[in-house]
Amino acid sequence: MTDNSSVHKEILKLRKEIDEHNYKYYVLSQTSITDKEYDDLYKRLQELEEAYPEFKTNDSPTARIGAEPLSVFPPYAHPAPMLSLENSYNLSDLRNWEIRNLRLLGNDVSLDLFGGGLEYFVELKIDGVSISLLYENGKLELGATRGNGFVGEMVTENIKTIKSIPLHLRKELTGSFIVRGEIYMSKPSFNKINTERQKKGDSLFANPRNAASGSLKILDPTVVAERKLSFFAYEAIYDGNDKNVIPDKQSEMLKFLKDMGFPVNPYGTILGSINGLEDFAQRWEENRESLEYEIDGLVIKINNRSLYDRLGKTAKAPRYAIAYKFTAHQAKTRLLDVIWQVGRTGIVTPTAVMEEVFLAGTKVKRATLHNIDFITDLDLKIGDNIFIEKGGDIIPKVVTVIKEERSGDEEEIKIPEICPACSSPLTRLEEESGIWCTNWNCPAQMERKLTHFASREALNIEGLGEAIVTQLVQKKLIEHVLDIYRIKLEDLLQLERMGKKSASKLLNAIEMSKKQSAEKLLFAIGIRHVGITVAKLLIQVYGSIEILKDLSEESLSSIQTIGPKIASSIVSFFRTQPEIIDRLKEIGFNLAEIPSLNENLILSGKTFLFTGELNSYTRPEAKEKVEKLGGIVKDTIVKNLDYVVAGNKPGGKLEKARKLNLRVIYEEEFLQIIEGS
Ligand code: IVH
């Protein structure tokens, strides 16, 4: 017992230390520790919590990751609606707003009046998504999106992955405390994610706001954690006992939020009068590029919060605040042509070619047109005079067609029927607004297809990474994915930094890949919408890739979890690639399911030891399960055991295991391991 309580103390101390470092880093922007030191603290905490799960809590720093994926986000009715803001674009809009407020407040505000106006607090308008966080008795209970303002979606587990959002308040506070603010993605994180997406051939996010809102809606929190979202708090609502908890000036309230553990944007400023705003706005319009995050304007708030209720609200916005939007950068030009390009996934997208103009300091002559629907909605024609705009997006977009200026000579934009890279017919897949080149051998898609084909999750051809693939394609050593099986030692030796040893190693890996299972091969081929899970399922049901070639959409869709999108993609793949089955056979692949070799089993080589009783299985049953999956069950504790499974009433082996720092897991995790197969 004494032993346990000292462990508990250490756990509490570690959590406090980690929280404190987080606070210094994310709220005070100070570095107080090296990454390595931080990681060591975190790892130590993780180990202790693993070994003593009775001390796990959901507000521990380790609870930020590892939550199970959800199937939906449950709805959440906001206790106080999340309104939006009225917009203003110039000083005269702001004056009108001020006059209306003064009139509503009557003479009561005479004390606030300096030179005929109120005192204001101006904040940057962060271009992200608003979020509401609920703390109950100091602990983060829930995070919800704005939704329609009244009902949002609970995205709590995703919110917890954002390290700058505290899991508990720094100061005690009983009752419900709501903090609202903006979740955003910094420009560096945005660029990094888009670069990665481009490499993978995934569609790009148009701007950091879309990336942030898309990321919040991912059902798997582990993926959200990789998106590196950030947060600024700007509002607090408290209806607990002590009404004086929240300061009655906005400027002070933000300091209070900071003390409570929340990151607050540092550029908020008190303005003695609305006249100061123009200078302030101009400064930020010029400086916005230098910020690490996107802003789309300013928010001007009356600093005296005690006036907020008295001013009330309109249907959608409170009167105490107003947004001052920066003007989007627009320019007028003429559409000269539309070119169509095939992306690495096969999607064919239109780009506008325009007369060159200056826009936001740079020369531009290309703009994105997204897809066919976008062109149809704008009713755009070649020769049209148009307005283009550079908002938060990197690439300018066409926003308006000036139809009044049409001469009658404008021409319809022709939608291509054949692929601009390989001339094969294009497909318009149902339910998707794009047009696609589904030719497996399309040169524009080759590099990506081959990289996927060779990737670890697919055929696992070690040494055939992106750099090598690019060279092989550039040097015209291969034209199609399967040409990789014709490659010779002399070919490989032509590549940069490729010695004899690594070349023959690669050749060997290519040869070995022919032995991979049918499901991996099916996944490797890269049929749209056929991921590894679907591939496994198809092989389980049909037993062979060859059979898939002659199936109809109806028979495929009769399998549960195979929807019309997947079915139509499979049918269209084999229709356009009739020769592929024969080619795979010629190479020597096994297209049918073969009893898996031990190496492919998920627990192959892993060692287990059981101590205590499990609820779900008897000991022999558990042993059989592990062995079926390729694992080995030991009876005695040894140094290199992979898992020690502790059931009810574990014996002395558990203690021994802990002393040796072995990985101890409990029934739930054991079941996840064996059932996740
Ligand atoms: S105050 C009643 N302050 O702008 C809403 N909003 O266009 C009170 N926003 O929905 C909002 N930065 O998502 C406020 N410093 C800031 C803000 C801010 C960004 C967003 C917020 C709001 C939207 C309105």
Three-point CA angle 565, 568, 572, nearest 5°: 140
Of the three residues 412, 435, 468, the one that is the final residue of a domain is 412
Q: Give yes or no: residues 309 and 334 share one domain.
A: no
Return the DSSP state at 661.
T
Given a cut of 60, whether residue 324 has pLDDT beyond it is yes
- What Rg value do the Cα atoms of the chain yield, rounded? 30
- Same domain membership, residue 651 and residue 576: no
Report if residue 423 sits inside a domain: no
Percent pLDDT > 90 in the chain is 57
Indicate whether 136 and 242 sit together in one domain: yes
- The residue whose CA has the least distance to atom 18 of ligand 1 is 125
The response to whether residue 41 sits with its C-beta less than 6 Å from ligand 1 reads no
Domain identity same for 12 and 130: no
Q: Are residues 295 and 233 in the same domain?
A: yes
3-state secondary structure 466-507: HHHHHHHHHCCCCCCHHHHHHCCHHHHHCCCCCCHHHHHHHH
Nearest to 284 by CA among 302, 265, 298, 303: 298
User: Are 629 and 609 a contacting pair, CB within 8 Å?
Assistant: no
Q: How far, in Å, from the CA of 234 to the mean position of ligand 1?
A: 8
Q: Which pLDDT does position 114 carry in this prediction?
A: 46
Residue 408 counted as domain residue = yes
pTM: 0.60
Going by CA atoms, what residue is nearest to atom 4 of ligand 1? 125
Question: Which of the residues 13, 16, 36, 125 is marked catalytic?
Answer: 125
Q: Does residue 594 lie in a domain region?
A: no
d(CA 562, CA 572) in angstroms, rounded, equals 15
527 and 667 housed in the same domain: no
Task: For residue 375, give the CATH number of its domain.
Answer: 2.40.50.140
Cβ neighbourhood burial of 176 (10 Å; 0-12, 13-18, 19+):
middle
Instruction: Give dist(CA 576, CA 439) in Å, integer.
Output: 7
State if residue 212 touches ligand 1 by the CB under 6 angstroms criterion: no
Nearest CA to ligand 1 atom 13: 130
Nearest CA, atom 10, ligand 1: 84
Contact 305, 237 (CB under 8 A): no
Question: Which residue(s) pair with 613 in the sheet?
Answer: 648
User: Is the CA virtual torsion 281, 282, 287, 289 positive or negative?
Assistant: positive
| pLDDT, tens digit (0-9, with 9 covering 90-100), for 252-267 | 999 999 999 999 999 9
**Does some domain include residue 80?**
no
513-525: average pLDDT: 94
Residues 306 and 249 placed together within one structural domain of the fold: yes
What confidence category does residue 116 fall into, taking pLDDT thresholds of 50, 70 and 90? low
Identify whether 595 is part of a domain.
Answer: no
CA dist 665 and 391 (Å) reads 51
Domain membership of residue 303 (yes or no) is: yes
Tens-place pLDDT, residues 127-179: 999 999 999 999 999 999 999 999 999 999 999 999 999 999 999 999 999 99
Same domain, yes or no, for 485 and 531? no
Mutate to test the pocket of ligand 1, among 78, 83, 84, 85 (most ligand atoms within 8 A of CB): 85
- For position 321, what pLDDT does the model report? 97
User: 177: part of which helix (H) or strand (E)?
Assistant: strand 176-185
- Judge if the beta carbon of residue 125 lies within 6 A of ligand 1: yes
For the chain, the domain total comes to: 6
Cα–Cα distance, 209 to 175 (Å, whole number): 32
Looking at 325, 341, 372, the residue that finishes a domain is 325
Of 208, 206, 211, 213, residue with least CA distance to 153: 213
CB-based burial of residue 317 (10 Å sphere; 0-12 exposed, 13-18 middle, 19+ buried)? middle
The residues that bridge with 390 in the sheet, in sequence order, are: 329
Tokens 């040894």 sit at which residue?
Answer: 638
Between 533 and 247, residue with greater pLDDT: 247
Q: Is 234 in the pocket of ligand 1 (CB under 6 A)?
A: yes
Amino acid at 163: K
Mean pLDDT value across residues 612-636: 85
CA end-to-end span of the chain: 38
Q: From its phi and psi, is residue 240 left (phi > 0), alpha (psi between -120 and 50) or beta?
A: beta
Judge whether 431 lies within some domain. no
Q: Is 125 a catalytic residue?
A: yes
Q: Which structural domain range is residue 546 located in?
A: 518-587
For residue 259, which amino acid is it?
D
Domain co-membership, 232 together with 116: yes
β-strands 295-302, 347-359: how paired?
Answer: unpaired
Cβ of residue 323 lying under 6 Å from some atom of ligand 1:
yes
Q: Kindly indicate the confidence band of residue 444, based on its pLDDT and cuts at 50, 70 and 90.
A: confident
- Do 226 and 343 lie in a common domain? no
Whether the Cβ atoms of residue 334 and residue 366 lie closer than 8 Å to each other: no
Euclidean distance between CA atoms 601 and 591, whole angstroms: 19
Query: Which residue, among 62, 235, 213, has the nearest Cα to 127 in the 3D structure?
Result: 213
* 177-210 confidence digits (pLDDT tens): 999 999 999 999 999 998 888 777 677 787 899 8
Give me the long-range contacts of 41-44 (CB less than 8 A, separation at least 24).
Answer: 41/14, 41/17, 42/18, 44/14
C-alpha–C-alpha distance, residues 164 and 166, integer Å: 6
pLDDT of residue 111: 45
For residue 317, which amino acid is it?
A
Among residues 295, 325, 355, the one where a domain terminates is: 325
Indicate whether residue 126 lines ligand 1 (CB < 6 A). yes
Q: Which residue intervals of 308-413 are DSSP H helices?
A: 308-311, 372-378
12 & 25 share domain: yes
The tokens for 182 are 């903006």
Whether 82 is covered by a domain: the verdict is no
- Here the CATH number for the domain that contains residue 457 is 1.10.150.20
**Are 237 and 321 in a shared domain?**
yes
Please give the full DSSP string across 72-135, using - where no structure is assigned: -PPEEE-SS------EE-SHHHHHHHHHHHHHHHTTTTGGG-BTTB--EEEEEEESSEEEEEEE
Q: Is the CB of 664 under 6 A from ligand 1?
A: no
